[in-house]
Structure 1
């Protein structure tokens, strides 16, 4: 652990990347030092972060209009907001009643915050009872561990909690993954294959071999194929998992695409196609067609369809650790950038939409 100066008796100065007003994150980010209150509650701890992974949602939160940030999210004007949710690090200090962790423990997890309590900071204060915080598996580096939580928990929520997939011998179950080479998609391919399911992935030409390596039995190249006809050829599916957004397959969710009335179309993005706009269940607010589609699904008048967010439960976190320890899931790192001065470049890389795996920030550089 590194030694850090304190700004006062009860405050630790933490270098961080922050923004004060809403806007394009590559333009508004700046590096500064923020105070971390070292007066801990009984079950609180401070973590020294060693690596953090970036996600498109960081960019989308930055793009939320200022009035929404001020009056609905209550982020406050001129308050430093720290982006990023995935992290891996070392326990630096613990409260008097903390029992799950001790100083020096290697931990990782997900701290998703709409109000700017993110992980692009040398230190972060959390509760030991955060359900998405846990011990880092010894077989992963900090870089690898930081790349996992949001993607894994999103995929497990989709395939298991919503789709009903189990790690069993039901090998006749089939999943179609749209956006199979991305940060979430490449984990989805691995997880579905680890669960002994038949995986059909959709990606561009340059990522075909990568998606096959991630576990896809079949790969559809969207640059040269009509997605509807090509997907129909390999269907029908128990789960269609959409990691990119749009409505291309929505009109065709019949027996050619969904195997039965228990089969389901799950999107983690929604109908939107802009990378810079909030997706997930927030899409329901601005897209009445999605609301109508889900309501029809709920009352049995249409195919099962839901736009989902990840489930932040201790049970899902334990599943994550188990599968990582067994080597069933392995993060792929697209690129690693230095915390000291290359965070903006990292977000520029993420915003290209051509990332294969995850973009990670290394705090030791």
Structure 2
């Protein structure tokens, strides 16, 4: 297992980059792998076996990171596309509970099925209480995109099991900085370009073996075959028996980069990554007169955009979301980034209400 300092040495972003919740920074090893491949491609030396190996390595690294067997991991692209598999597999009349204010990639696929399923939205704090007998599925992001709030996962999963409901958890804003166990959920979905610092276009779906029969492989293509290179022509369909039946054909360069980034995080203690990022975030919160949040994300009210403007003027890369400004602290950040952000924020009004 590599140390946190060894992981940090892979990164070299400009000072003040506090935006991992929007897009991560590529490790040097990741950009080098893609540059090398572009040279091979441009000279007619495209190497398909290398891409195949990258997919296998990325799948295995993600499985290690989230605590499941690689056979339970499918490769995908976008969270909305993976979530749509779940939404399209629900029977008519199914009842789904979502979080009010959750990211739309977790919500729109269900709302798009609104003519045949019932979708309810509840506040994050009330999610566990809303999971009662008659609910078929609860769909939620473990870490909320707009606020950085970490939901009470223990309570949600326990309530779902008690009520006989399936669980779909979006780990996009969690995997990479927060220790997670994807085996807790019937299905999890993760975009890897944020905290896992992979190229955009690489994502993962995990499905428990007990839930697999309920999930229709509606996007099945040649890469979902039991032996893709032997079953890439019809008319017979021979899908993989495990989660690979939900694979989509990989965007090659994205997966070369993903293999490098995923290996970097899978071989580093995630608890140390969490302690670093959440520690910096709580240092900022303390400087603003706020209680610790235990999250690597700090989200502050910013209805007029003045805090966003002040942070950007101070050289901070942050995000404006839902009338708020969002700062995300990851492995490459340090105390100087905290001081830069704190100076900008205190100039816009000092301590903030809790």
TM-score where L is the length of structure 1: 0.31
Q: Which has the higher contact order (CA 8 A, sep 6+)?
A: 2
Structure number with higher helix proportion? 2
TM-score of the superposed pair, with normalisation by structure 2: 0.32
